[in-house]
Structures are given as structure tokens and as C-alpha cells.
Chains A and B, each alone.
Chain A
Amino acid sequence: MLEVRDIYGGYGGVDILNGVSLTVKPGEMVVIIGPNGAGKSTVMKAVFGLVKVREGTISFEEKEITNLLPNEVTQRSICYVPQTENIFPTLTIAENLDMGAFIRNDDYSHQVEMVYELFPILREKRRLPAGSLSGGQRQMVAMGRALMLEPRLLLLDEPTAGLAPAIVEDMFAMIKKINDLGVSILMVEQNAKHALGMADRGYVLTTGQNRIDDTGPNLLNNREVAEMFLGG
């Protein structure tokens, strides 16, 4: 479904990605882990057209999407949740969802309903400004917003970063639920142990290159991965 082939690129002439390849198959949950500065978030931004790809190709459902603009990528049914500042704070929750559906011209009330089913607390607070919510609830709004276009692929950049440990678990459960609805997920996560535990496959990146590619469980049991990220 998503094919990233040997891409090079970065910000302002400095390459952060030095030949990264990865694939996401329909319905899969794929996790990217790696140390700080490995280019995890940058891969995602490259897929979404926020980082210039200098070499290599990215294709989605057999069509090339390399260096398309973010709004063009959105139209291909890929949605992206940035790590920070991923909500419109002065807009209400309902309005945040409306913005997620901005490019839709049809009736999307069933999708709003679906998001409220997934995150019941949002229905309760739908008339409140999103900026008044807690960290976990904001993350729900951000994901709900991204789900409004009924994407086939969802890109999540560190969805549990900065959340209280108590709700990290819930957040992963919700991501799993979204995945079970048939939405493929490509996710960058610091919380490697947890993320690999539920992912179908994982990629370990270091210095902008693929280091290890394997299934989630295999990576969890990989000695090198354990030493690098899981604290031995």
C-alpha cells in the first residue's frame, strides 16, 4: 500500500534521510523506532510532503506521491497527526472535526458519530474549545480530526509523547482499535517496548538509514534492539 524506496532528503540542503525504505501493507500497523535524530519523524514528514525528497520514490496504492503537497497527499486518503500543536485550540471539538473534513463536500455526520463512538469523552465536551482539554483528550481530538476523511493510512508521530504514564496504555488501546477498523497505521514511537508489542512490523532507524526490519515480536526479542531501546 505504502512503498518508500531508498529516499534521501532533509531540511535546507542537509540530508537527514540517507536511504530509508519501508512498506506498509493494507491493514497493518507498522512502527518506526530509533534513537533521537535518526530521522523517524522526518520519514513521516517526507511521506506527507512536508520534507523535500531529493532522491528515491514514495508511492501509495501503486501511484507515485513523492514530493506532492500536503493537501494533495490528504486527497489520496493519507492523514497525518503531528507530534505537537496538532489541534486548533480556540475551535471547539466539533469544529476541529469539521476542519478535519474540510475537503469533503458530502455529508460526513456518520464519521463524526464514529469518532464520538471511538472517543465518547469528546462527544460530552464537543462544544468546548479544544485548548481546554487535557493532554490525552487533545490527542484524541487530533486523531479524530485525522480520521474525518476516513483515511486508508494514518500517520502518527509519537502519539504518546508527553502524556501521563497512566493514559499511555489507553492511548495505545485506542490506536489498536483504530487499526482494527481497517485503517493502516504508520507510527513513530519512543515507547518502543509497548509499540512493538502490538505492531505487525517494525523498522529500526539509525542516522537516517534502515538498521533492522522485522516483525514486532521478533524485534522485541532482538538482543540489539533490547540493548539500544529497551534498557537491556
Chain B
Amino acid sequence: MAEILQLLIFGVVLGSILALGAVGLSLVYGILRFAHFAHGDLMTLGAYFALTLIVSLQLPFFLALPVSAAATILVALLADKLVYRPLRRTQPVILLIASVGIALILRSAIQLIWGSRVHTYGQGIQMPYRIADITIKPDHILIVVGSIALITAMHFFLKNTKIGKAMRAMSDNRDLAQVTGIDTDRIILWTWGIGILLASCGGMFLALDTQLHPVIGWRLLLPIFAAAILGGIGRPYGAIAGGLVIGLAQELSTLAISPAYKPAVAFALMVVVLIVRPKGIFAGRSI
């Protein structure tokens, strides 16, 4: 029983991180209309920016987080300006392949700058809280609370601000958004801003929870896609649920099979959803 509860906690922590990635991926898919394969590597980049700030500049994590997120957003905007924007009027598959290129460039740049060895934020050993046989690390609470705060903020942004409503409008119908006079280029910049803010925070949370290495985000890409597809791609709210389902499924699967198969669990779930409910459990855009 305690083991299951413990895995549930791990699952919620992983699910929160996956949700942060999947929400951004879904937003970008809905508004820019392509599967953004560089999403995972931008998560990695955010985590490495934070590494420099925490280890070299001795900044506390909560200060490093917004600064690293801002720097990662700038990199995403640069990629948009130099690569995605000129290709915007072509087919989605061309943008998809271009984003794979960006992903490879980012990963190589990270290896060049920070090396390929494993890093940690090195904040020493934390005393976990113990309740009966269950242990909870303070970092886990930070990750879950931080994710909830970020996603709640995104929810209010999408629901209540003019830009947020315009993002949803553009995701609904891009041509009509243009005809209505919505400045679609500006909305695209905001989409990168919000999507990469969430993704880079997800990357930093993951590095905080585990260890940092250059393929941390790339390995996360599959479960993130699985989460986004499960929730109905293009639907940020579905992606939150999708993230939690995949996170929990991955952790609980270790009861029965080797932890080495965790990525396979996400993949299997994605395939099943694509076969049974291709529009996602919450019926999003068909893909």
C-alpha cells in the first residue's frame, strides 16, 4: 500500500513536469500548426541556464527560475525569427523537420558549452518528510506547487486577457483571426513566450528532481507528445490531464515491469489513444 502511495507521489511529480511541457506543446501546435520537436531541448536549455546561475553565480533556485525562463524564451523567439517564420507559409511537415534541426543544434550547443557529463544543482542533501512509510522530498512539493501556480496563471491569462483570448481564437480559426484584425504575428510571439515559459520551468523542475544531462529534454519529448495527444493536441487543458495520466502510468508501471520500460509505457499509451480515440480523450483537433 505504502509503495503504491509512494509511486502515486512520484507520478504526480513527474506528471506535473510532463504537463508543463505538454501544455506548451499543445499551445504551439494549436496556434502555429506544427509539432514542435525542439520543445524538449528548450526544456534542457532552460535547465542549463539555471545551472550556470545556481552553480556559478550562487543564485537561489527561485531567482534562477525566472531569469533562465526569460533567456530560454529569447532563444525560442530567435529560432522563430530565423527559421520558423520564413517557413510559416509552407507545409507543417517542413516546420516539423526544421524543429528537429533546431533540436539537434540546441543539444550540440549545450554539449559544447556545458560538456556532456552529468550535473546537479548541488543544493546538498535534503531531509525528506516522512509520513508513515512514505517519503516526500521538499523539492517535490516545490515542483508540484510551482506547476500548479504556473498552470493556474496560464489559465487566467487564456481566459481573461485580450491576448489570451486571441490565442484561443487563433487556435480555433487562424484565417478568421486574421480577417478580424487580430495581429497574428504578435499572438505567435506570445504563444512562444507562454509555451516556453512553462517548458523551461518544467526542464528546471526535472533537473532539480533528478540530474542534468544534455538529453534530459529529448528523452522527455516522447512522454510529452503522448500527454499532449492524450489530451487532444491543440487543447492546453487536455494536456494537463494527459501529463498527469502519463506521469502516473509511468511510475505505477514499475510495480509490474522494469523501470527501464517507462518510456515504452508512454509510447504504448500514445499508440492506444491514437488507435482508439485519435482526437484525444477530450476530442481535440484531429491530427
Chain A positions near chain B (C-beta within 8 angstroms): 48, 50, 70-71, 74-75, 80, 82, 85-91, 95-96, 98-100, 102-103, 145, 149
Contact = CB atoms under 8 A, between A and B. Distances in A.
Contact of B166 (A75, A85, A89, A102): A102
Nearest to A105: B162
B176 interface: yes
Given A85-B173, A88-B172, A89-B172, A48 B179 contact: yes
B165 A71 contact: no
Q: Which DSSP category, helix, strand, loop or mixed, fits chain A's interface? A: loop
Contact of A70 (B171, B172, B173, B179): B179
B106 interface: no
Contacts of A95: 165, 168-169
Interface residues of B, number: 17
A99 B179 contact: no
Given A85-B173, A90-B168, A90-B172, A71 B162 contact: no
Interface string B149-193: 000000000000010011011011101111111110000000000
Nearest to B182: A102
B169 A74 contact: no
Nearest to B163: A102
Interface in B2-35: none
A91 B181 contact: no
Interface of B: 162, 165-166, 168-169, 171-173, 175-183
12 contacts: A50-B179, A75-B181, A80-B179, A87-B176, A90-B171, A90-B172, A99-B166, A99-B169, A102-B162, A102-B180, A102-B181, A103-B183
A74 B181 contact: yes
Contacts of A102: 162, 166, 180-183
Contact of A71 (B168, B172, B183): B183
B162 to A, nearest CB: 7
Given A91-B169, A99-B165, A102-B166, A145 B175 contact: no
A48 B180 CA distance: 11
Contacts of A88: 168-169, 172-173, 176-177
Contacts of A85: 173, 175-176
A91 B172 contact: yes
B226 to A, nearest CB: 23
A78 B176 CA distance: 15
A99 B161 CA distance: 11
3 A-B pairs closest in CB distance:
A74-B181, A88-B172, A103-B181
Given A71-B181, A71-B183, A74-B181, A82 B176 contact: yes
> Which of A80, A99, A103 is the most central at the interface, judged by chain B CB atoms within 10 Å of its CB?
A99
B173 to A, nearest CB: 6
Contacts of A149: 181
B168 A86 contact: no
Contacts of B176: 82, 85-88
B269 to A, nearest CB: 25
A98 B164 CA distance: 11
A99 B175 contact: no
A96 B181 CA distance: 13
A102 B162 CA distance: 7
B180 A82 contact: no
Given A88-B172, A89-B172, A91-B172, A145 B165 contact: no
Contacts of B182: 71, 99, 102-103
Given A88-B172, A89-B173, A99-B165, 8 more contacts: A71-B182, A86-B176, A91-B169, A95-B169, A98-B165, A102-B181, A103-B181, A103-B182
A87 B175 CA distance: 11
Contacts of B181: 70-71, 74-75, 102-103, 149
Nearest to B170: A88
A73 to B, nearest CB: 9
Nearest to B184: A71
Nearest to A72: B181
Contacts of A89: 172-173
Nearest to B181: A74
Contacts of B168: 88, 90-91, 95
B143 to A, nearest CB: 30
A190 to B, nearest CB: 21
A168 B173 CA distance: 25
B2 to A, nearest CB: 43
A49 B159 CA distance: 31
A91 B167 CA distance: 11
